[in-house]
Every structure is written in structure tokens, then in C-alpha cells.
Amino acid sequence: MIYVCFSKGFNTGSVSIPKNITAAARKLSTTCSALRFKDPITHVYNPLEYAWAAHEQYISQAATGKKKVVFLGMNPGPFGMAQTGVPFGEIAAVRDWIGINATIGRPAKEHPKRPIEGLDCKRSEVSGRRLWGLFAKRFDSATDFFQDHFIANHCPLVFMEETGRNRTPDKLPVTEASPLMEACDTHLRSVVEILEPEWLVAVGGFAEKRASIALNGLEVRIGKVLHPSPASPAANRGWAEQAAKQMKAQGIWP
């Protein structure tokens, strides 16, 4: 494992950590908003824009110091971060467990089948419910969880087709994916340099692939847990128990 100085380009003192994470997220948002995507994508949501107040509130609570573990997802789900501005942002977990109460706006071009209702959204993001549910069972409070843990998404954008169908970043053509992946990889590397975690835990295969590329040369171990998506048959057979077992087997959790 190669040792590098994490502080390159950043003041990593505890007071500056939320400020640096915020600046990195702002830069990612600006870069991604300037990108353009063609058919079959008709709508692109950037919750780092319209839900920025909630995301900033999340950073202020979750990024208060260096971490042992950073969890990494792919991109926002339509009923998760797209609604709340928080990675894997299942409504109840964000509102009631984390305590986010910021006002959430709406994207400039909204799909009629995918309205942004913010914390009033009645739909539940299953992946987020499973992920945050595991942490809520293991830790007494969100504050306790955030002492050593942080959750991020690799890509901040939500992609939708004309029918409202969700399209994930791994399905983008190379010409559109390349500049997006470059921006997202750069942001991920910045997050790890700022938070200096021992572990980057990829939630699913896509996150693992991007982490291995973006974090090459950094002194951080890359782990992996099964993605909690209900589209995965394995995840529907006791995801929380499987994920906790995987964390323990890799030595991430005692």
C-alpha cells in the first residue's frame, strides 16, 4: 500500500473539514450541471442544486471530523436523495433520525411522473431504508454513527427517460459518461483526502469499480457490501444481516 499525504490541497483540521467537504460538493454540482445528456435521457435532476440547503445541513452534521469509514453509493434514487438531498436519503431516516429539516426546492425541468415533494414525499426508497435502518439499529443516534462514518454518492445526478424510467450512470454512452466520471472521481478523491478514512466501503459493484480508479495511490482500504436494492434477489434475503456480516468479515466493524 502506497502512503500519500492526504492534506494535499486541503486544510484538514477538524474545523475546516465541513467547509472543505462543502466546497468540494459545490464544485461537483457546478461541473455536473454544465454537462449535457442526449436521448433517451429527457430529464436530469441535480439535488445538489435544488436541495442544497438540506445537503449542506447533512454535511454540517455528518462531516464534523475525520472518519474511519466512508460508504459510497452510485447516484441518487428518485425517492431518496432526489427528494432529500442526502445520500440514500430515505424520508423517515433523513427527517426523523438524522434530523434534516431544511426547505427543499424543485428542479427547473421536472418530470410529471417524478415530482419533487421533499420531506413530504410519501414514497419510500427501499435501498435507503435498508441502509440507514442498519445504522439506526447498530448506533444509538445519528450523531454516534457520524463520529466514525460518512455516506456519499459517487454521482449526484438523477437521470430519467421520457417514461419516467430511471437510468443509472453505468448505462450512459462513453461520450457522456467520461466527463461525468472524471468529475465524480475527482470529487471522491477529494472527499477521501479530506476525511482520511481507513476504509472506503463500496455499496455495490459500480461504486467499487469507481473507487478503485479514483483512489488509486491513496492510503485507504476499499471494502464492499451487497447493494440493498430490491432489484437484487440476494438483497431481499435479509440484507442488513448480510451487510453486517460482510463488514465484520472484512474487519471494518468489530
C-alpha neighbours within 13 Å on the C-beta side of residue 209: 7
Residue 13: inside a domain: no
Residue 189: inside a domain: yes
pLDDT tens string 132-142: 999 999 999 99
Estimate the crossing angle of helix 17-33 against helix 52-62, to 10 degrees. 150
Q: Which domain holds residue 245?
A: 18-249
Number of domains in the chain: 1
- For residue 7, pLDDT over 50 is answered with no
Q: How confident is the model at residue 113 (pLDDT cuts 50, 70, 90)?
A: very high
pLDDT tens string 154-163: 999 999 999 9
Q: Give the burial class of 116: count Cβ atoms within 10 A of its Cβ; 0-12 exposed, 13-18 middle, 19 or more buried.
A: buried
Residue 53: inside a domain: yes
Give the chain's length.
254
pLDDT tens string 36-93: 999 999 999 999 999 999 999 999 999 999 999 999 999 999 999 999 999 999 999 9
Residue 5: inside a domain: no
Residue 7: inside a domain: no
Residue 130: inside a domain: yes
pTM: 0.94
**What is the CATH classification number for the domain harbouring 230?**
3.40.470.10
Asked if 21 contacts 194 with a C-beta cutoff of 8 angstroms, the reply is yes
- The reported pLDDT for the residue numbered 14 is 64
- The reported pLDDT for the residue numbered 210 is 98
Per-residue buried b or exposed e for 60-79, using 16+ beta carbons within 10 Å of the residue's own CB: ebbbbbbbebbbbbbbbbbb
Asked if 1 contacts 219 with a C-beta cutoff of 8 angstroms, the reply is yes
Segment holding 82, helix H or strand E = helix 81-84
